[in-house]
C-alpha cells in the first residue's frame, strides 16, 4: 500500500522567505510526527499530532515554525522568514497504536536549502 | 525515554552475520526496545522491537539479555543493502505514556564490504 509521502522532495529558498512543507500520512494512522535532520546529525523531534488532541509543539525551535493537520490526514509544516540554519531534511512519520506499541513509518523527507 | 549506548560504527563482510550491540542499563520494566535503521538519503525504517523475549522477523532477530540491560540486533546475512545507521531506542509502553516521539541517538553506522 501507499506509504508516507512528502512534497516537495527538494526546496531551495532565499533567506527571509516563507516555506510550506507537506506530509500525506498513511490512511488510518492517527498520529503524525515531524522531525528535522541536519547534515550529518541525528533526528530532532519538532511536533506531533494525535487525533483531535492539542499538538505537542515542545520540539519547535522558534516561533517561526508552525504546523497544522487537517483531521487525521494531511499536515503542513510552515517555516517563516527562513534562516540558513533551517537548512535540513524535514521528515514526517505517521503511526497507529496496536497492543501498546506504535510503529512509526517515515516519508522520504523534504530537503530544504536556505541560501 | 531511557538512554541507550551503541558503538559509533561497525564493519561487516557481505553474506556474514552481523551483531549490533546496544546497552540500556537504566531500562525500566515497561520500556520496549525498538530498532530502526536509516539507509543513505532515506527516512528511517522500523526493523524490530521486543520487551523480554527474543524476537525474529523477516528483517532481523533481536536478542535481549536476561536482565534486559542490553540487547543485540542480529542480521543473519549482511548484504550491501543493509549498509545504514542502526538506532536502538527505548520507548515506554503507550498504555503508560501515550504517543511520544522517537528519541534518536547517534546510532551505529554499519558498513558492508563486498
Mean pLDDT score, A15-44: 94
- pLDDT, position B91: 86
Is residue A77 within 8 Å of A55, Cβ to Cβ?
A: no
Cα–Cα nearest to A111, from A21, A18, A2: A21
Measured in angstroms, the CA of B72 and the nearest CA of chain A are apart by 19
Shortest distance between the Cα of B39 and any Cα of chain A, in A, equals 11
Q: Do B44 and A101 touch (CB under 8 A)?
A: no
Q: Is B8 helix (H, G, I), strand (E, B) or coil?
A: coil
Q: Read off the pLDDT band of A52 (50, 70, 90).
A: confident
Kindly tell me if the per-residue pLDDT of B97 is higher than 60: no
Minimum-distance CB partner of A31 among B32, B46, B99:
B99
Q: What is the mean pLDDT of residues B16-29?
A: 95
Residue among B91, B94, B101, B97 nearest B24 (CA): B91
- Asked if B101 lies within 8 A of A50 by C-beta distance, the reply is no
**Residue A48: alpha-carbon gap to chain centroid:** 8
pLDDT recorded at residue B95 = 59
Confidence of residue B1 (pLDDT cuts 50, 70, 90): low
- Separation in Å, CA of A112 to nearest CA in chain B: 13
Tell me the pLDDT tens digit for each residue of B38-84.
Answer: 999 899 999 999 999 999 999 999 999 999 999 999 999 999 999 99
DSSP state letters, A42-111: -EEEEEEEETTSPPB-TT--STTEEEEE-TTS-EEEEE-S--GGG-EEEEEEEE-EETTEE--EE---EE
**Span of A15-29, A54-68, A93-107, B25-39 with lowest mean pLDDT:** A93-107
Chain centre to alpha carbon of residue B94: 19
Backbone phi, psi, residue A30, to 5°: -85, -25
Mean pLDDT of A16-36: 95
Helix (H) or strand (E) holding A22: strand A19-24
Q: In this predicted structure, which of A35-39, A44-48, A70-74, B81-85 has the lowest mean pLDDT?
A: A70-74
Give SS3 for A40: coil
Is 60 exceeded by the pLDDT of residue A92? yes
pLDDT, average across residues A88-104: 87
A→B contacts (Cβ < 8 Å), by residue, are 4, 31, 33, 35, 42-43, 45, 48, 50, 56, 59, 91, 93, 95, 97, 100-109
Among B106, B113, B111, which Cα is nearest to B7's?
Answer: B106
- The CB-side HSE value for B39 (13 A sphere, CA atoms) comes to 13
Which residues in chain B touch residue A110, judged by CB atoms under 8 angstroms apart?
A: none
A contacts of B39 (beta carbons < 8 Å): none
Amino acid at each position: 500500500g501507499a506509504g508516507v509521502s512528502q512534497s516537495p522532495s527538494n526546496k531551495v529558498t532565499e533567506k527571509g522567505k516563507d516555506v510550506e512543507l507537506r506530509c500525506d500520512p498513511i490512511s488510518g494512522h492517527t498520529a503524525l510526527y515531524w522531525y528535522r535532520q541536519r547534515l550529518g546529525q541525528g533526528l530532532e523531534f519538532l511536533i506531533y499530532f494525535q487525533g483531535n488532541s492539542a499538538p505537542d509543539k515542545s520540539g519547535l525551535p522558534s516561533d517561526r515554525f508552525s504546523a497544522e493537520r487537517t483531521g487525521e490526514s494531511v499536515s503542513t509544516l510552515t517555516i517563516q522568514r527562513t534562516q540558513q540554519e533551517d537548512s535540513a531534511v524535514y521528515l514526517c512519520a505517521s503511526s497507529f497504536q496496536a497492543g501498546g506499541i506504535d510503529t512509526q513509518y517515515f516519508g522520504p523527507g523534504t530537503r530544504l536549502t536556505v541560501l | 525515554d531511557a538512554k541507550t549506548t551503541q558503538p559509533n560504527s561497525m564493519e561487516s563482510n557481505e553474506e556474514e552475520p552481523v551483531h549490533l550491540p546496544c546497552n540500556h542499563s537504566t531500562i525500566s520494566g515497561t520500556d520496549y526496545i525498538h530498532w530502526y535503521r536509516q539507509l543513505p538519503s532515506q527516512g528511517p525504517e522500523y526493523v524490530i522491537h521486543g520487551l523480554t523475549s527474543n524476537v525474529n522477523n523477516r528483517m532481523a532477530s533481536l536478542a535481549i539479555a536476561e536482565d534486559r540491560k542490553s540487547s543485540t540486533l542480529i542480521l543473519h546475512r549482511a548484504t550491501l543493502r543493509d549498509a545504514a545507521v542502526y538506532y536502538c531506542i527505548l520507548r515506554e509502553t503507550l498504555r503508560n505514556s501515550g504517543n511520544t516521539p522517537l528519541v534518536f541517538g547517534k546510532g551505529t553506522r554499519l558498513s558492508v564490504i563486498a
